[in-house]
Structure 1
């Protein structure tokens, strides 16, 4: 793998191979980054990344990149995430694959730069704007403006306290429906009450029991008492008391009236 060309493809245009040994910790250096490449078949471990971190020194502005042929251990990935080291694996044909979030971010930036931007269409490529097409566009925009005006008018009418005609008609329909529902509920309640009364009558085995006619007996008793008092006063009047005749007449009249009420009831 040519690490220099891969570094340049990632955006570091001035990447150059360093003159240090293979184990110095840095194999490729650029203006904004340093990188190390491991060709061995074993996985790269945490000590390998620590050597790259130490070789960078106090240059905190340099981005650290690591390329390994056989992947990384779990501790190495954790260390790289904690210290902002981009991890890549590579194949013999030079294809690299980002492993952690830092590497994916760098590779994503490269892909965005390499993606060709869509240029705006020229006047020659635009569809021909004929009179018919222009008329359709004008009519379409006019309809949209008319609908927006209707919506704004409804909203302004509702905010000023005016109810639209459609809303008023809907309100009347709902009022009639609620009244009809109330009448139906009353009718159903009356039907249930009538059915319950008929059930009660059927359970008793005949017509409903009527209360005793106490008023009839009372009229008869009063008529008898008036007759007795009238007789006693007649006797007293015969002895010599003239007032007894008058009271006897009053009680006799009252007795006759009570007896008539008894007969009528």
Structure 2
């Protein structure tokens, strides 16, 4: 008693099955001989290039390439036929295809060859990547627009920083400082510094704790601690025969947190 096959009986034989797979493939399939003459194609290939399916038969694969690139493609094809290798999708060649109406489309081609000599056949699996290219171009344009906006914003910020720097450097009778929560200098400028030849860049990153005289250090630090808690205020003190006025305010960030004063 013969064993029953699990294969669906919709097809009379394997040739019929493979034929249906060829005809109904979602990608374009073109079979050519060793001279690049198309001997078989599926409906999708015809639609992709704007031909009726039987119109492609007898044409050369080179005729599906724009005239400006045809000679180069012929040379590539000739070299390929000398040493044919399979190229899977993803590592396939990206070319420009030529439709019947003269429209050019970007295509990706994967190649599989079989046979030898004059009996060599090449199966090309062709994908129209127009939509992918459009998406890539949109992403590229978005990135370029973003870069331009970032550059513009950077210029604006630099202009603002230069303005603030100029204002602070010309601030009379004192200095303007910005501290982080560890009371390290983030910004330090003032007219007196400039006139005294002090480079404020040497101060940035150091701590005010190391610069306060011992007789006022505790009171000043307590005052700054209250500012970090949200209290603004003016503190006056004297040290080494000089009178100072300290006006400190909290700097609230976008998250309503005080990390600088």
TM-score after normalising by structure 1: 0.23
More helix by share: 1
User: Highest Rg: 1 or 2?
Assistant: 1
More strand by share: 2
TM-score after normalising by structure 2: 0.23
